């Protein structure tokens, strides 16, 4: 008996299976590559080869694509990233007070008091410090991203890099390279700059209390962890499954939900083989003119999302009295 969690983001699609004791038994990481439906189908093909769909007794979704994921796979819980990350963090350590989460495209801070989320902030605008930005810098410096943190830790000294925004940071790094600084010093300077940027923007006005968990793909970067510790003045912790916390949280929340409802809405693995695609239209129900997305599986409509008023969400053509198409 397993609970499935899917974290569908713009950069990556993560799938996690946890058992009834919330231990992680399977994790799948895929690049979304601008095609979220295909990414989920790929993930389901992998699961289908290893598990019987009847073993999945609950399914949950999170991430920016959680509505689309829910429409195509059938989800018992659809939660935003804050809720999913907090749930997984609290499962890992009940003492957590602050979650620093830096993913491929955005960063967040979540403040927790006595097991309850009391405050949070997200930065989806500035690319500096996100996984995609660090990947790009690693590529430019011709260093495997896995070794990026080691370079920072090896640096004998640091150099100040302007980390206020991605464009400034990159041009300042190039400038410092031209001045003859070592890659190690520049990378350490970059980590310091990105941490300053995070604390001054995402963490602005927040009291960061220990215990702090560092989650998301960027938590793999030891240089970033060290820079946070230097700036905050205390140790921060990286959970073993730091890059899967959203999917794990979604799975656990789904399990909790099914305990209440007694049955799952999970549709099984058949979507791995079926032709699933989306179409959008402008709703003319009111001046908002929402762009509503319609998801098809072969000729059947699985669901709608994108409406601001729930006129379409959760409806099928049968309910709406419309013909397919």
State the residues that interact with ligand SF4 by CB under 6 A: 283, 285-286, 288-290, 292, 307-309, 311-312
Q: Which is nearer to ligand SF4, 222 or 311 (CB)?
A: 311
CB of 285 to ligand SF4, least distance (A): 3
CB of 72 to ligand SF4, least distance (A): 20
Q: Which is nearer to ligand SF4, 3 or 312 (CB)?
A: 312
Q: Which is nearer to ligand SF4, 185 or 307 (CB)?
A: 307
Q: Which two tokens stand for residue 2?
A: 């397993």
What b/e readout covers 249-264, taking b as 16+ CB neighbours within 10 angstroms? bbbbbbbebbeeeeeb
Q: Which residue is nearest to ligand SF4 (CB)?
A: 285
Task: Give the integer Cα–Cα distance in Å for 218 and 134.
Answer: 8
What is the torsional sign of CA 266, 267, 268, 272?
negative
3-state DSSP assignment of residue 108? strand
Query: What 8-state DSSP symbol labels residue 147?
Result: G
CB of 81 to ligand SF4, least distance (A): 24
CB of 105 to ligand SF4, least distance (A): 26
CB of 314 to ligand SF4, least distance (A): 12
Q: Which is nearer to ligand SF4, 74 or 285 (CB)?
A: 285
Q: Which is nearer to ligand SF4, 68 or 220 (CB)?
A: 68
- Of 68, 80, 84, 101, the residue nearest 253 (C-alpha): 84
Q: Which is nearer to ligand SF4, 1 or 322 (CB)?
A: 322
Q: Which is nearer to ligand SF4, 152 or 283 (CB)?
A: 283
Q: If you compute the radius of gyration of the chain from its CA atoms, what whole number of angstroms results?
A: 21
Task: Give the integer Cα–Cα distance in Å for 55 and 267.
Answer: 12
CB of 318 to ligand SF4, least distance (A): 19
CB of 308 to ligand SF4, least distance (A): 4
Task: Give the integer Cα–Cα distance in Å for 171 and 173.
Answer: 5
Specify the DSSP element, H or E, that contains 112: strand 107-113
Q: Which is nearer to ligand SF4, 174 or 320 (CB)?
A: 320
Q: What is the DSSP string of 265-313?
A: ----SGGGTS-EEEEEEE--SSTT--EEEEEEETTEEEEEE--SSSSST
Judged on CB neighbours under 10 Å (0-12, 13-18, 19+), 273 is exposed
CB of 306 to ligand SF4, least distance (A): 8
Q: Which two tokens stand for residue 186?
A: 């520049």
């Amino acid at each position: 008996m397993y609970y499935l969690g899917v974290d569908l983001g713009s950069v990556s699609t993560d799938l996690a299976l946890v058992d009834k004791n919330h231990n992680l038994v399977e994790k799948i990481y895929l690049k979304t590559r601008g095609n979220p439906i295909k990414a989920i189908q790929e993930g389901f093909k992998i699961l289908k080869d290893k598990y019987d769909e009847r073993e999945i007794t609950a399914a949950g979704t999170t991430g920016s694509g959680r509505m689309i994921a829910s429409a195509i796979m059938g989800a018992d819980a659809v939660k935003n990233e804050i809720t999913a990350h907090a749930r997984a963090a609290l499962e890992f350590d009940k003492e957590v007070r602050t979650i620093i989460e830096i993913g491929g495209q955005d960063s967040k801070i979540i403040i927790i008091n006595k097991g309850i989320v009391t405050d949070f902030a997200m930065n989806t605008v500035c690319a500096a410090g996100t996984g995609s930005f660090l990947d790009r810098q690693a590529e430019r410096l011709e260093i495997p991203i896995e070794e990026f943190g080691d370079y920072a830790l090896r640096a004998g000294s640091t150099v100040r890099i302007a980390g206020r925004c991605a464009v400034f940071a990159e041009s300042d790094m190039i400038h410092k390279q031209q001045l003859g600084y070592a890659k190690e010093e520049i990378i350490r300077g970059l980590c310091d700059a990105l941490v300053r940027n995070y604390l001054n923007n995402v963490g602005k006005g927040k009291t960061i209390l220990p215990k702090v968990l560092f989650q998301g793909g960027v938590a793999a970067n030891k240089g970033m962890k060290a820079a946070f510790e230097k700036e905050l003045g205390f140790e921060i912790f990286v959970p073993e499954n730091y890059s899967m916390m959203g999917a794990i949280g979604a799975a656990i929340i789904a399990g909790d939900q099914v305990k209440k409802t007694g049955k799952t809405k999970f549709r099984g693995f058949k979507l791995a083989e079926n032709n699933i695609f989306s179409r959008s239209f402008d709703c003319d129900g009111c001046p908002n003119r929402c762009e509503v997305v319609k998801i098809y599986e072969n000729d059947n409509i699985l669901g709608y999302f994108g409406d601001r008023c729930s006129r379409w969400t959760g409806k099928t053509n049968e309910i709406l009295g419309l013909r397919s198409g």
